[in-house]
Amino acid sequence: MTDEDRRRELIAALTAADAVRFGEFELSHGGTSDYYVDKYLFETDPDALTLVAEAFADRLAETDAKLAGVALGAVPLVAVTAAELGRPYVIARKQAKEYGTGNRIEGRLDEGEEVVVIEDIATTGQSAVDAVEALREAGATVDRVLVVVDREEGAEELLADHDIELESLLTATELLAEREEE
């Protein structure tokens, strides 16, 4: 399958899951937008989730890196992608738990282990940077973040400032261009 075919298939799956919405939306960082990608709608749709996991798995085939998902939104993505690849993963919490083990990183992570972070939507990129910093503090080597959609609102630049490559399955430009073609 070509990259263009995969891109169109992903856009169709997100659209079929009703995950791409238009109107006035407040974003988590406080800004507003005239469109919204509802991660919970595509992550809870088995067809869309499977397509995303397969696309991530294709991008990760050349590496043996452990995967990490950013809690809460990327947990279904990392779980299905890890199962597709047959490898373990960890979960990076926004902050350490105040109960149980008190861990910020859940799962087994060895010192010096190479990790690729999986994230749902990148807007400013701050949640991905926070996850990478937590993983690095725990001893991991992290220089790559994969996202389903890059909203192209500064995430790529912020991650680059932290020596992290942002790689997206779709960009806002691609997602919105597809709508204009309809």
Q: Flag whether 39 is marked binding.
A: no
Q: Flag whether 128 is marked binding.
A: no
CA–CA distance, 138 with 118 (Å, rounded to integer): 17
Q: Flag whether 164 is marked binding.
A: no
Phi, psi of 141 (to 5 degrees): -105, 120
> Helix crossing, 46-60 with 3-16: angle to 10°?
150
Q: Flag whether 143 is marked binding.
A: no
Q: Flag whether 122 is marked binding.
A: yes
Q: Flag whether 73 is marked binding.
A: no
Examine residue 159 and say whether the peptide bond preceding it is cis (omega within 30 degrees of 0): no
CA–CA distance, 31 with 115 (Å, rounded to integer): 30
Provide the token pair at 114. 């190479």
Q: Please, are residues 84 and 63 in contact by the beta-carbon 8 Å criterion?
A: no
Q: Flag whether 121 is marked binding.
A: yes
Q: Flag whether 120 is marked binding.
A: yes
Q: Flag whether 95 is marked binding.
A: no
- Give Rg (Cα) of the chain: 16
DSSP assignment of 36-105 equals EE-HHHHHSSHHHHHHHHHHHHHHHTT--PEEEEETTTTHHHHHHHHHHHT--EEEE-SS--SSTT--SE
Binding-site residues for 5-phospho-alpha-D-ribose 1-diphosphate, in ranges, read: 93-94, 97, 119-127
| Known binding residues | 93-94, 97, 119-127, 151
- Binding residue positions for orotate: 123, 151
